[in-house]
Amino acid sequence: MTEVQERTDFDVRAFARNAQGPFRDELDLAPFAAEPLDPADRDLVRFIGRVESATMEHFRDVLMTATHKDARVTAFLVTWAYERSWIADALDAVLEAHGDPRARAVAEERARRRWGERRAWRGPLWRTVIAVGQRDAVVGAHMAAGLIDEWVLGAAYQVLAERAGNGALRKVIDRIAAIKRRHEEFFAAETHRRLTASVRAVRVARGELKHAVWPIGSLRRAPGDRRRFHEAVFGATDGWARAEAIGKKVAAIPGLTRRIGARIAARLRKR
């Protein structure tokens, strides 16, 4: 078994110590009264909030594997989930400033499996069985998935900020981006370290990423909501360019290929 012993410079303990808790009270939401977001933008806010808070759905996938044994990674993930839950709360605050209910108070349509998502829908039983063969090589795949997810959600926040053209929302998004920067930093460092050090990790990452669904947490969302997200962020010419840009960044990850990058870009464009 190839083990990766070295560490990256990311200080997980400091990250956990300085984790961002509730911050809705620090947001200036009053301007939304005079300058509200239109329903389509609020719809996008709601969807992003839902995927930001769907961390336990993601844990259900990753903890069935050897990733749960890596105490440094799990310490990061625990804090990552905590910070994401408060990001979702901040997005709820934006919705509530418009008189809308928070995201989880709105009933979701039943999720449906789409063509090509069979592997992404695997339950804990199958993941456990497959994890036996993947061993700790799978940690690199999970780190790369986290990194790509940051890029995908980064694109979504960018679209939201540009499309809404609303100063108050821009400030909320800037605040969120500052929190998420540390997530990207950890995932990027871990991805690079693990995929550079291990051929097996590269092989497992290629296999896993080909079948992943973006953003993390969207698999079990309502089909209509997913379609609208992909149309808003990765539809039309601008959106295609965004998907293409993410595909190129994926291709530049150590051990990954242009083909995998193109496949992920195609999946992002799929509505």
Partner 1 sequence: MAFDIDEYAAGSRAVRWDDLDFDHFRDNPLPPDTLRTLRYMTDVEYHTICYTRDLLTTPSHTDDDVARFMVTWNREEFWHGEALASVLRMHDIEVGFDELRANRLKFGWRDYLDPATQSTLSRLVGKDFIAVHMSWGAANEYTAVSAYKRMAALETDPVLAELLRRIAQQESKHVAFYVSQARKRLADSRKAQIITRFLLDKVWRPVGSSIMPHEEVVYVFGQLMSGPAGAAEARRLDASISALPGLSGLQIFANSFGRLLAEGAAPVPA
Residues forming contacts to partner 1 in the complex (CB under 8 A) are 12-13, 16-17, 19, 21-22, 53, 55-57, 59-60, 63-64, 68-72, 74-75, 77-79, 81-82, 85, 104, 123-125, 128-129, 131-132, 220
Nearer to partner 1, 39 or 123 (CB): 123
Nearer to partner 1, 35 or 109 (CB): 109
Nearer to partner 1, 22 or 116 (CB): 22
Nearest CA to 73 out of 7, 132, 149 is that of: 7
Query: Tokens for 21?
Result: 């808790």
Query: Rounded to an integer, what distance in angstroms lies between the CA atom of residue 115 and that of residue 117?
Result: 6
Asked if the bond preceding 215 is cis, omega within 30° of 0, the reply is yes
Q: Give min distance, CB of 195 to partner 1, in A.
A: 19
Query: Rounded to an integer, what distance in angstroms lies between the CA atom of residue 122 and that of residue 108?
Result: 21
Q: Give min distance, CB of 81 to partner 1, in A.
A: 5
Q: Residue for token digits 């998907």?
A: 243
Helix (H) or strand (E) holding 193: helix 167-197
Q: Residue for token digits 């790509």?
A: 148
Q: Give min distance, CB of 64 to partner 1, in A.
A: 5
C-alpha dihedral sign at 8, 152, 214, 57: positive
Nearer to partner 1, 55 or 166 (CB): 55
Q: Give min distance, CB of 135 to partner 1, in A.
A: 10
Query: Tokens for 82?
Result: 């905590």
Q: Give min distance, CB of 224 to partner 1, in A.
A: 19
Nearer to partner 1, 77 or 209 (CB): 77
> How distant is the alpha carbon of residue 248 from its chain centre?
18
Q: Give min distance, CB of 85 to partner 1, in A.
A: 5
Query: Tokens for 115?
Result: 């063509």
Nearer to partner 1, 2 or 128 (CB): 128
